[in-house]
Amino acid sequence: MRNGGQLLVESLVALGATKAFGVPGESYLAVLDALHDTRGRLDFVLCRNEGGAAFMAAAWGKLMGQPGLCMVTRGPGATNAAIGVHTAMQDSAPMILFVGQVGTDMKGREAFQELDYRAVFGTMAKWAVEIDRADRIPEILARAWTTATTGRPGPVVIALPEDMLTSLTDAAPLTGPARLAEPAPTPDAVAEARAMLSTAARPLILIGGCNWTEAGKQALQSFAEASDIPVVCAFRYQDQFDNFSPVYAGEAGVGMPPHVKALIRDADTILAINLRFGEMTTDCYTLLSVPVPAQRLVHVHASDREIGKIYQPTLGIQAGPNAFAAALSPVKGDWSDWRGKARAAWEAGFDLPPQPSPVDMGLATAHLRDVLPADAILTNGAGNFTVWPNKFYKFGPRARLLAPQSGAMGYGLPAAIAAKVAHPDRTVLCFAGDGDFQMTCQELATSVQAGAQPIVLVLNNGIYGTIRAHQERNYPARVSGTTMVNPDFVMLARAYGYHAERVERTEDFPAAFARALASPTGALLDLDISPEALTPRQTLTQMRDAALAAREKA
């Protein structure tokens, strides 16, 4: 006999879970007690806020391809964690959120911190469920694990009533995860897709998603290179294809470069693999007509719910990305000029004017491209500063990017901590705006306690930059609610035990970053960034002046 908490934890160990991120609560004490006996096998990473914990779990799922686990208490703990669930859903990343719940004898009375988790998370997660009987824990947990990792991966929320966790059961724990073969395409479907590509004048491959294997990525790259077809990655998934390949042509995301817009708009045949056609990847759904695109569209996805959800494909293929890539063989056509121009335009995008800022992030990012190891992991939250890791870093086959498709501020630091927990020997670099950083900066304490201290670059310009940019474009010279008074980030980081420096000149950045790389305690560099340097090619003043001029003409 064992209680529900023990049964849950033993089943998680059997499934292969090694880390759970969370904040403790009295509603799931039985789980915490069971975790006392799994140290070194399944460890509880103690976080400072449930939002930070949920971000860590979402990032873990995106990085590892295994459900990131988050454990929080009922009510406020669950609502704090909702941001991570939403992020995992938009990222198509596997995650399981365990939430303590009031006892089954109190449900429906608005008991202390009670929530209806199916109602709260029903449209936010792939599945939301409550376990009312301890003997059903293995059944529901097995289903949750499979649901989170198959089809379109995503988050599952499991509510755990307190009395269920303490009740005894003779149910046996799980012995391991189900072994599910990735759905493969039929030979006829592959042949039809190849025929469409071979008769194209301007073919394009669009890819996304976090559930690629190394073999799958290599198979796709081999196909694209042998066929000489340009490849564009979906918003914040540019790490899933080798940027140094001659067929790589850029990322379709926020601030989409003109040449990428033109590639998608002007392609006559698009092979879209493992992506959900989000707003950012389609430039607000304008690059392809809804519901029937002008381009011939082959949409490949493991989930039948994604095929035809927005765009009706010429050919829809329900198949996993790796199985589909493995089934491809090269096609030939006269499009080398199309591919060559796409690649040249991407390379030309790295040529930047000097930035009007004490620290020029164009030069700083160029230095990072030279000195970061090939397997570096970059993370970021949300803000205009994300243009630097998202558009001006080149991701080789071993580098990774953890960045939220949901545009959630505060994701970057927790994601970096999760990456450092997963890979303590790899260099992990977080890009954070000053506003973005302050959303989750308390998680520096989590990183110290877990021994998982990344390098953090705080791009400090004293404003909420993205909102200020929109403000100046729409309501020029009427600043409201976007100027910040910041703490001393160097003193703050040092209080948490980090090496920290203020960098006020571009020429000081290389030496400061070298010291950050050498620091055994993690490092934070507070970079002096001018508010004028809001975008790489347009200043804040230029935005305002253009908007004022447009108003005068109107």
Beta bridge pairs of residue 101: 161
- The DSSP result for 204-221, as a single string, is EEEE--S---HHHHHHHH
CB 83 within 8 A of CB 55: yes
SS3 breakdown of the chain: % helix, strand, coil, rounded to 5? Answer: 40, 15, 40
Distant-in-sequence, close-in-space partners of 425: CB < 8 Å, separation ≥ 6? none
347 contacts 389 by C-beta, under 8 angstroms:
no
Kind of pairing, strands 2-3 and 168-169?
antiparallel
Q: What integer pLDDT is reported at residue 273 of this predicted model?
A: 98
- Tell me how far apart the alpha carbons of residues 166 and 169 are, in angstroms, rounded to a whole number: 10
In the three-class reduction of DSSP (H, G, I as helix; E, B as strand; rest coil), residue 488 is classed as coil
**Of 28, 30, 44, 24, the residue nearest 2 (C-alpha):** 30
Provide the residue type at 237 as one letter. Y
Q: How far apart are CA 354 and CA 104, in angstroms?
A: 63
pTM of the model: 0.97
pLDDT tens over the chain, length 554 residues: 999 999 999 999 999 999 999 999 999 999 999 999 999 999 999 999 999 999 999 999 999 999 999 999 999 999 999 999 999 999 999 999 999 998 788 887 877 777 899 999 999 999 999 999 999 999 999 999 999 999 999 999 999 999 999 999 999 999 999 999 999 999 999 999 999 999 999 999 999 999 999 999 999 999 999 999 999 999 999 999 999 999 999 999 999 999 999 999 999 999 999 999 999 999 999 999 999 999 999 999 999 999 999 999 999 999 999 999 999 999 999 999 999 999 999 999 999 999 999 999 999 999 999 999 999 999 999 999 999 999 999 999 999 999 999 999 999 999 999 999 999 999 999 999 999 999 999 999 999 999 999 999 999 999 999 999 999 999 999 999 999 999 999 999 999 999 999 999 999 999 999 999 999 999 999 999 999 999 999 999 999 999 999 998 88
The pLDDT of residue 112:
78
β-strands 95-101, 68-72: how paired? parallel
The reported pLDDT for the residue numbered 114 is: 79
Distance CA 409, CA 498 (A): 22
Q: CA-to-CA distance for 392 and 386, rounded, in angstroms?
A: 10
- Per the CB < 8 A criterion, the answer to whether 255 and 281 are in contact is no
* Intervals of CATH 3.40.50.970 along the chain: 2-169, 361-553
How many whole angstroms separate alpha carbon 70 and alpha carbon 286? 37
Are 243 and 400 within 8 A, CB to CB?
no
Options 3.40.50.300, 3.40.50.970, 2.60.34.10, 1.10.1040.10; CATH of 2-169: 3.40.50.970
Q: Quick one: pLDDT at residue 53?
A: 98
In the chain, which segments carry CATH 3.40.50.1220? 187-348
Among residues 491, 405, 416, which one has the least CA distance to residue 456?
416
DSSP 41-100: TSEEEE-SSHHHHHHHHHHHHHHHSSPEEEEE-STHHHHHHHHHHHHHHHHT--EEEEEE
DSSP state letters, 335-395: -HHHHHHHHHHHHHTT--PPPSSSS-HHHHHHHHHHHS-TT-EEEE-SSGGGHHHHHS---
Return all residues near 148 (Cβ < 8 A) that are at least 6 apart.
Answer: 61, 67, 94, 95, 96, 126, 154, 155, 156
| Beta bridge pairs of residue 271 | 205, 298
DSSP assignment, residue 508?
A: G
CATH number belonging to domain 187-348: 3.40.50.1220
Q: CA end-to-end span of the chain, whole Å?
A: 77
Structure confidence at residue 107 (pLDDT): 80
Asked if residues 146 and 96 have their Cβ atoms less than 8 Å apart, the reply is: no
- Distance CA(69)–CA(94), nearest Å, equals 9
Question: 505 and 328 in contact (C-beta within 8 Å)?
Answer: no
CATH class of 361-553: alpha beta
Inter-CA distances, 333 with 200, 206, 337, Å: 8, 18, 11
Mark residue 172 as left, alpha or beta (left: phi above 0; alpha: psi -120 to 50; beta: remaining). Answer: beta
**CA angle at 521 for the pair 517 and 526, rounded to the nearest 5°:** 65
